[in-house]
Structure 1
Amino acid sequence: MKNILIVLITLFSANVWAQDSKIKVITEEIPNRLAFYAVNENEEDLDVMITIEGTNFRQSKARPRLIRVPGISKVHLKTIMLLRGKTPQYTYDLVVNDSLSKRAVKKEATAIKIKPKKNITVYVPSMCNQCDSLLQSLADGKYLYQMHKLDENVEMKNQLNRSFANTMQLDSLETPIINLGGKLFTKINNYDDLITKLEFED
């Protein structure tokens, strides 16, 4: 049953994503239930309404309502009750409005991280005094990123040395080395500097 259910989840999530790229619907299994969530990877708030039809499950008979999904967040839309020993068969219809309604239900939203326009990779030298603050800001921010400690990856450190043509001592750097979309920077001192470089159009 679980394998079939996972296939169904994948198919229906893909269908909704193809229909409206503003919102992605994901599902999470909990005991005897299946929860539906809206994921908004855009900056703007949206109102979303989901209608589910099918068999081998139960759901509330209440009329579907618009639910506010803030920008860059995940919000629970609906949960269905699965019938024991049965494989749920369902389809759903998704309405997405960027004209916000005063009557939309406001639920608890969970912040998510999104992919930036340029991939962010932070390399941390052993003497980096600026890294903790920057990494904390990245952890609290909205963008996905990668972080590598050079002391723990000698091969990566050697590759960076070659990229700089061995013109600098990486161990003596007090700022992080940051790769933004394939370009290396050694003078980004804080999160604001990083965002400025990230938004700059080449």
Structure 2
Amino acid sequence: MKTFYTSFLLLFLFVNPLIAQERPIEIEDEQNNNRLYLYAVNKNLQDFDVIINVTGTGFRQRAGKPRAVRVPARSRVEVSSLIIERGQEPKYKYTLEVSEELSRRAMIREAELIRIQPKWPLTVYKPALCTANCDSLISSLDQSPYLYTLTEIEAYPKVREQLSRLIVGGEERLAEIDTPIIMMGGKMYLTLTSYDEVMSTMQELE
């Protein structure tokens, strides 16, 4: 399977502002033999109906008025399929109509669930003595919609050295910590032990 990078093929983009998504719907494309598939990527925690209008050269597409396709929260869904003409390089442009008012007439297609970035990039540092507290939080984050970075401190001496400089009490204090060390929004937290506490604190950050 060959992937076309939208940045090279995309000549024009207009999104109809029917609603103000927190994160705009993105379009990705993939080529498989003589087909070029366009996918809508929804990185929000809300479902949308998406209509894509495609024009360009080097391909054919289904005639008729495009139909709305349901793109669930944090998912990737095929919204158009183009037939590449023999010996041609497809070049396309598109417009999107995105609506939060979900229609019963919208097409329901297979959706691929994706992980998304939270409000702030999240890093969890796991101290050597952090077992139950860390395991519980990590398990909850793994089951959440969000991407995060996990670093086991003992495996990275330079990280351990840097953290010891930031914590009051230095290396001695770091060696005693049995809770996860959370970094988000440019701040460090030593007392957040649950998923709910992390998410609540994140929402309060500006």
TM-score (norm: length of structure 2)? 0.83
The answer for the alignment partner of 1:177 in structure 2 is 181
The answer for the alignment partner of 2:87 in structure 1 is 85
In structure 2, the CA distance between the partners of 1:151 and 1:31, relative to structure 1 (3 Å rule), is farther
1:39-78 aligned at under 5 Å gives the runs: 39-61=41-63, 63-78=65-80
The alignment-based identity, stated in percent, is 36
Q: Distance in 2 between matches of 1:13 and 1:142?
A: 29
1:1-202 aligned at under 5 Å gives the runs: 6=5, 9-11=6-8, 15-16=12-13, 22-61=24-63, 63-129=65-131, 130-167=133-170, 168-201=172-205
Please say if residues 13 and 24 of structure 1, whose CA atoms lie closer than 8 Å, have aligned partners that are also in contact: no
- How far residue 11 of structure 1 moved from its aligned partner, in angstroms, is 4.8
- How far residue 137 of structure 1 moved from its aligned partner, in angstroms, is 1.7
Q: Distance in 2 between matches of 1:188 and 1:87?
A: 53
Unmatched 5+ residue regions in structure 1? none
Please say if residues 77 and 112 of structure 2, whose CA atoms lie closer than 8 Å, have aligned partners that are also in contact: yes
Unmatched 5+ residue regions in structure 2? 18-22
- How far residue 157 of structure 1 moved from its aligned partner, in angstroms, is 0.5
Q: Distance in 2 between matches of 1:62 and 1:77?
A: 14
Please say if residues 47 and 67 of structure 1, whose CA atoms lie closer than 8 Å, have aligned partners that are also in contact: yes
Please say if residues 26 and 39 of structure 1, whose CA atoms lie closer than 8 Å, have aligned partners that are also in contact: yes
Q: Which whole-Å deviations, capped at 9, do the CAs of 1:155-196 have from their partners, x for residues lacking one?
A: 111000000143453233222111121111111111111111
TM-score (norm: length of structure 1)? 0.85
In structure 2, the CA distance between the partners of 1:100 and 1:82, relative to structure 1 (3 Å rule), is same
Aligned-residue Cα RMSD (Å) equals 2.5
In structure 2, the CA distance between the partners of 1:126 and 1:75, relative to structure 1 (3 Å rule), is same
For these two proteins, the number of residue pairs brought into alignment is 198
- How far residue 46 of structure 1 moved from its aligned partner, in angstroms, is 1.2
More helix by share: 1
In structure 2, the CA distance between the partners of 1:110 and 1:38, relative to structure 1 (3 Å rule), is same
